[in-house]
Structure 1
Amino acid sequence: MYQPPHFREDRLEVQHALIRTHPLGLLVTLGSTGLVANPIPFVLDALAPPYGTLKAHLSRANRQWQDFDPAQEVLTVFQGPEAYITPSWYAAKREHGKVVPTWNYAIVQAYGRMTIIDEPAWLLQQITAMTEDQETARPEPWAVGDAPEAFVAAQLKGIVGIEIEITRIEAKWKVSQNRSDADRLGVTAGLRARQDEASQQMAELVETRGAPRGS
């Protein structure tokens, strides 16, 4: 990933936080027909060395779990907040007009070897953990145990598990760090005026992280 120094994010706890908040990762593997990519929800085991382990499952009918090169790294991409940034928000537009549009975003890319796991107990644990992650905040959370045991057992036969031990991880927070204070204020105001959730999330990032660390 192209990594200008002022956009890099090397803190593992920050990278992990984005994965937890945006767990639907794009799993990219190399198979006999070339590159294959599928969006997959992951559960992160942050304590596993060296950088954590990603756990998920695939439909047994999805050939990605069979047709990949175990000797090669796989890539999982986690996309955080993103937003189009119009140059009309920049103070610099009014000053000299030498501005262009851009896109702000936060993203994590995790690399590692993928292992296939076809064990009912592991699969039950994985889907339970994934469900709890998403359901806990609901007033009346649904649990895997709410479904009939025989039904759950039948569903488990239709999936296979995957584990990816993260061997390297990269992250990029491109949130207007390269703009002046006045331009960042304009970006924040423009994003706030949009009122949609994605724009509000990006406005928060620009406010809290827009200036380069140490500036």
Structure 2
Amino acid sequence: MYIRKDHRLDNHDAMLALVEAHALGAWVVPCAEGLVANHVPFLLDRSRGAHGTLIGHVARANPVWRQLEGSSASIVMFRGPQAYITPNWYPGKAEHGKVVPTWDYAVVHAHGLARAVEERDWLLDMLERLTHAHEAAQPRPWRVSDAPAEYIEKLLGAIVGIEIPIARLEGKLKASQDEAVRDRMGTVHGLQALAGAGDMALLVAGALDRKEGL
């Protein structure tokens, strides 16, 4: 991934937090017919490895797991907040007009060797942990054990686990760092007024504070 120096996200905890908060990863792996992409909700196990280990599953009918020869180099892309940035938010538009649109976003790429896992106990543990993580905010969290045992056993036979120990993380935060300070402040205000863009506004404001000491 191309990353300009001022867009590089080096904070390790921030990268892991983005992965956890935006768990649906775009997993790309080379297979016999070329690059294959799948969208997989991953759980990050921080306790395993320097950067953690991603665990998830695909349908047994999905041919990707059969094409993992032992272990295959993979990249999983996690996209955080993102937003289109209009020049209408920039004071510079009225002052000199030398402004153009852009797109702000935060992404993390996790690199590692993927392997398929078929062991029944591993699969059940993965499903329980994945469910626990994503049901935690529910008033009455659903548990795997809430479903009939024979139904769960049938489903276990229909999936294959995917495990990717993370060997390297790349993070990119494009948060208007290359714009004039006043225009960046205008972007924060514009995003704050835009429905669904609050998280991106916080990232732009945070990048502004860190760089300018405001």
1:150 corresponds in structure 2 to 150
Residue pairs, 1:92-103, within 5 angstroms: 92-103=92-103
1:122-141 matches, within 5 Å, as 122-141=122-141
Counterpart residue number, 2:205: 207
Report the 3-state secondary structure (helix = DSSP H, G, I; strand = E; otherwise coil) of the residue aligned with 1:138.
Answer: coil
Q: Which position in structure 2 is the counterpart of 1:166?
A: 166
> Structure 2 CA distance, aligned partners of 1:93 and 1:212?
25
**Contact 1:6 1:212 (C-alpha < 8 Å) held by counterparts:** no
2:71–2:114 Cα contact (<8 Å) kept: no
Query: Are residues 1:45 and 2:40 paired?
Result: no
Provide the rounded CA distance (Å) in 1 between the counterparts of 2:212 and 2:153. Answer: 54
Alignment of 1:66-81 (within 5 A): 66-70=66-70, 72-81=72-81
Distance in 2, matches of 1:85 and 1:70, equals: 44
Number of corresponding residues = 213
Structure 1 residues 77-116: aligned runs within 5 Å: 77-116=77-116
More off after superposition, 14-23 vs 49-58: 49-58
Structure 2 residues without counterparts, runs of 5 or longer: none
1:57-96 superposed Cα distances (whole Å, 9 cap, x missing partner): 0100001111245564101000000000011111111111
CA-based RMSD: 1.4
The share of aligned pairs that are identical, in percent, is 42
CA contact (8 A) 1:29 1:74 kept: yes
Q: Which runs of 5+ in 1 are unaligned?
A: none
Paired amino acid for 1:12: H
With the length of structure 1 as denominator, give the TM-score of the two structures.
Answer: 0.94
Structure 1 counterpart of 2:198, one-letter code: Q
Looking at structure 1, the residues matched to 143 and 152 of structure 2 have their Cα atoms a distance apart, in angstroms, of 11
Instruction: Give the TM-score normalised by the residue count of structure 2.
Output: 0.95
Residue 58 (structure 1) aligned with residue 82 (structure 2): no
Q: 1:17 is matched with which residue?
A: 17
State how far apart, in whole Å, the 1-side matches of 2:71 and 2:97 are: 51
Pairs within 5 Å for 1:169-188: 169-188=169-188
CA separation in 1, counterparts of 2:19 and 2:106? Answer: 11
| SS of the residue 2:193 aligns to | helix
CA drift at 1:180: 2.0
Cα distance in 2 for partners of 1:205, 1:96 equals: 27
Counterparts of 2:153 and 2:71, CA distance in 1: 32
Secondary structure class of the residue paired with 1:169: strand
Whole-angstrom CA distance in 2 between matches of 1:155 and 1:71: 25
Residues in 1 aligned to 2:49 and 2:131: alpha-carbon distance in whole angstroms: 24
In structure 1, distance between residues paired with 2:120 and 2:208:
46
Measure the CA separation in 2 of the matches of 1:113 and 1:19: 17
